[in-house]
Structure 1
Amino acid sequence: MTDSGNSDRIWQWQSWQDYSYLTCNVLSNWQHGFFTKQFYPRTPEDLTLFLQPNTTAYRVKQVHGNIVLTTQEIEEKNCLAGSFPDADGVMSQQPQQSVWAASADCTPVLIGDIVTGKVCAIHAGWRGTAKKIVSGAIARFLELDSKKENLRIAIGPAIAGEVYQVGEDVAVEVGKTIVADAQSKTDAEILAALRQLPNSPISPDDVPGKVRIDVPRVNQIQLEQLDINPKYIAIAPYCTYQQSDRFFSYRRTGEKQVQWSGIVSR
Structure 2
Amino acid sequence: MTRLILLDQWLLNKVSGGFSRRDGGVSQGVYRSLNVGFHVGDDASHVVENRLLLARDMGIDVNNIVFGEQIHSNQVEIVTKDTVRSGPFDSIAKADGLVTSDPSIALGVLTADCVPLLFADAGAGVIGVAHAGWRGATSGIISEVIANMVLLGGLQERIRVAIGPAIRSCCYEVDTPVIRAARVAYDRMGRHMPSWQKSTIHTGTVMMDLPRICHDELRTLGIVEEHILDTAICTSCMPGSFSHRRDFGQSGRQAGLIRLRG
Instruction: Give how far 1:71 is off.
Output: 1.6
1:204 aligns with 2:198: yes
Instruction: Give how far 1:89 is off.
Output: 1.3
Separation in 2 of the partners of 1:93 and 1:224? 23
Separation in 2 of the partners of 1:110 and 1:49? 19
Instruction: Return the match for 2:116 from 101, 105, 108.
Output: 108
Residue matched to 1:37 = 22
Instruction: Return the match for 2:218 from 212, 223, 234.
Output: 223
Residue matched to 1:161 = 169
Instruction: Return the match for 2:132 from 119, 124, 132.
Output: 124
1:27 aligns with 2:22: no
Separation in 2 of the partners of 1:126 and 1:80? 22
The runs of at least 4 consecutive aligned structure 1 residues that moved more than 4 Å come to 42-45
Q: Match of 2:170, as an amino acid?
A: E
Contact kept in structure 2, 1:48 and 1:98, CA below 8 Å: no
Separation in 2 of the partners of 1:65 and 1:223? 18
Separation in 1 of the partners of 2:218 and 2:127? 16
1:252 aligns with 2:261: no
Separation in 2 of the partners of 1:102 and 1:82? 13
Bigger RCO (CA 8 Å, 6+ sep): 1
TM-score (structure 1 length as normaliser): 0.80
Separation in 2 of the partners of 1:174 and 1:54? 39
Instruction: Give how far 1:222 is off.
Output: 0.5
Residue matched to 2:103 = 95
1:137 aligns with 2:145: yes
1:68 aligns with 2:76: yes
Separation in 1 of the partners of 2:86 and 2:169? 37
Q: Match of 2:11, as an amino acid?
A: L
Instruction: Give how far 1:80 is off.
Output: 7.7
Percent identity of paired positions between Structure 1 and Structure 2: 27
Contact kept in structure 2, 1:52 and 1:264, CA below 8 Å: no
Show CA shifts across 1:177-219 (max 9, x none).
Answer: 123688xxxxxxx9xx423xxxx5x222122210111111101
**By percentage of residues, which structure has more strand?**
1
Show CA shifts across 1:70-100 (max 9, x none).
Answer: 222x843353894321211121221132100
Residue matched to 1:10 = none
Instruction: Give how far 1:33 is off.
Output: 1.5
Residue matched to 2:234 = 239
SS at match of 1:174: helix
Q: Match of 1:26, as an amino acid?
A: W
| Number of aligned residues | 233
Runs of 5+ in structure 1 lacking a partner?
1-17, 183-189
Q: Match of 1:165, as an amino acid?
A: E
SS at match of 1:111: strand
Show CA shifts across 1:116-149 (max 9, x none).
Answer: 2221111111111011101110000111111111
Separation in 1 of the partners of 2:258 and 2:144? 18
1:194 aligns with 2:193: yes
Distance verdict in 2 for CA 1:80–1:105, change over 3 Å: closer
Contact kept in structure 1, 2:100 and 2:128, CA below 8 Å: yes
Contact kept in structure 1, 2:3 and 2:22, CA below 8 Å: no
> RMSD of aligned C-alpha atoms?
2.3
SS at match of 2:95: coil
SS at match of 1:204: coil
Residue matched to 1:263 = 258
Separation in 2 of the partners of 1:32 and 1:210? 35
Distance verdict in 2 for CA 1:99–1:171, change over 3 Å: same
TM-score (structure 2 length as normaliser): 0.81
Separation in 1 of the partners of 2:161 and 2:147? 14
Instruction: Give how far 1:67 is off.
Output: 1.0
Separation in 2 of the partners of 1:215 and 1:221? 10
